[in-house]
Amino acid sequence: MSNEQAVARFSNPAPLGLAGFALTTWLLSMINAGWFTGDSMNMVLAVALAYGGTAQIIAGVMELPRGNTFGVTAFVSYGAFWWSFALFVLFLHDKVPSAFVGWYLFMWGVFTFYMWIASLRAARALQLIFLALWITFFLLAAGEWTGMAGLHTAGGYVGLITALLAFYLSAAEVINETHHRVVLPVGAPGASR
């Protein structure tokens, strides 16, 4: 059996990973944008552990037999991000200086920046997700370093855009596959990745 035939036997895990990422990012970004207070964080943490973290890691592992290095790296990494974020908020938030939190966010921005460069050969929708996400991380990092609430709020709004883009690509992949035609375009080069 050829590699292409073997990959065809596995379902596409990307819509699951994208949806887990989108929903969790949307919830946290509503708090970062100032729509809700930190009192809403418990719901973010629950979703971060169950959907943003666990479902994305499952999606990443499902990319292994498909031979999708980008998908494995993205989904497992951002799933781990959500787990680390939830653990930090639950147990360590009052024990880590803001400047160090800024470095945590900045380094996630660096990772996301090179993933964005890798995505430049993929569908336009995926490129836009990674573009918006690295900007989100850098704005949030700058907000932690400077204490400027406006940067944090801006990061929240760009995070909301990131989540909408990820929801769109998740929906497009599910709907297009189900209908066996392009209902929601994702932009060339012809496929989501």
Residues 134-162 have pLDDT tens digits of 999 999 999 999 999 999 999 999 999 99
Residue 6 has pLDDT above 70, yes or no: no
Distance, CA of 63 to CA of 65 (rounded, Å): 6
Place of tokens 């890691």: 57
Residue 36 has pLDDT above 80, yes or no: yes
Residue 77 has pLDDT above 90, yes or no: yes
- pLDDT tens profile 87-136: 999 999 889 999 999 999 999 999 999 999 999 999 999 999 999 999 99
Q: Determine the distance from the C-alpha atom of residue 46 to the mean position of all C-alpha atoms in its chain, rounded to a whole number.
A: 16
Residues 6+ apart with CB under 8 A from 28: 44, 48, 85, 159
Place of tokens 């964005």: 116
Query: Residue 123: which region, alpha, beta or left (left: phi > 0; alpha: psi -120 to 50)?
Result: beta
Question: How is the chain split into domains, by residue range?
Answer: 13-179
113 burial (CB, 10 Å; 0-12 / 13-18 / 19+) is: middle
In terms of pTM, does the model score above 0.85? Answer: yes
